[in-house]
Amino acid sequence: MTSNSNAAITLLDVVESIRNVPDFPIPGIQFKDITTAIKRPEIFRYMLDQTAAYYQNMGITKVVGIESRGFILGGALAARLNAGFVPIRKPGKLPAPTFSKSYSLEYGENILHIHQDALETNDVVLLHDDLLATGGSAKAAIELIRNFAVKSIHVNFICELSFLNGAAQIGEGIEVFSLVKF
C-alpha cells in the first residue's frame, strides 16, 4: 500500500488498532487507548478522511476539541474542513477569561473551560473528542458552546461505548457521529 492510499484500511482495522487497557485509570474501567491507532499513519489518515468526509458539506466553521485527546484529530479535522480550532481545556490551562462547567465522569469529577471569545453566533460548530462513554464531558462541552448561541452544533467521536448510552446525554436535536462503536 502506498502512503497516499487508504484503500486497504477498513473500520475493522481501526477497531483492531485501538488498545484496551483493563483497570485504567481505576479498577473496573476498560480504557480505550487510541494512541496505538494514531501512531499508524494509515489508520490516522483513514480516521481523518472518514470523519472529514462525513462533515464536508455541513458548513463547519469551528472544530472544538476537548482536552487532550480531542486535540489530536480535532486540529487535523479543522484544517481539513477549512475551519478554526478551539480548545476546551481543564482548569488553569487557558490564559484569558473563560466560561467553565463542572461534570461527572465514570471515575470522578472534572471542570472544563473555554475562552469567552472563542466562538461567535454565526459559527457552525463540530465538537470532537476521542471517546464517548457516559457523556458527561460532552454534555458539559455542549453547555459551554451554548453560551455563544451558535447556529448549530454537531458532535463527533472516534469511539463510542454504546452500552453506556452516553449519546442520550448529548441532548435533543444534536446528531452524534461516532466512527467506531464498541
CA-CA distance, 80 to 58, in Å (whole number)? 13
pTM listed for this prediction: 0.92
Enter the DSSP assignment of 89: B
The domain in which residue 88 lies consists of 58-181
* pLDDT attached to residue 32: 96
**Domains in the chain, number:** 1
Domain annotation covers residue 52: no
Domain annotation covers residue 117: yes
Domain annotation covers residue 64: yes
CATH number, domain with residue 149: 3.40.50.2020
Dihedral sign for Cα 100, 177, 84, 10, please.
positive
CA-CA distance, 13 to 61, in Å (whole number)? 30
pLDDT in tens, 123-133: 999 999 999 99
Domain annotation covers residue 115: yes
Q: Which residues are catalytic, by number?
A: 69, 106
pLDDT in tens, 128-177: 999 999 899 999 999 999 999 999 999 999 999 999 999 999 988 899 99
In the chain, % of residues over pLDDT 90: 88
Residue 106 pLDDT greater than 70, yes or no: no
Domain annotation covers residue 4: no
* pLDDT attached to residue 5: 54
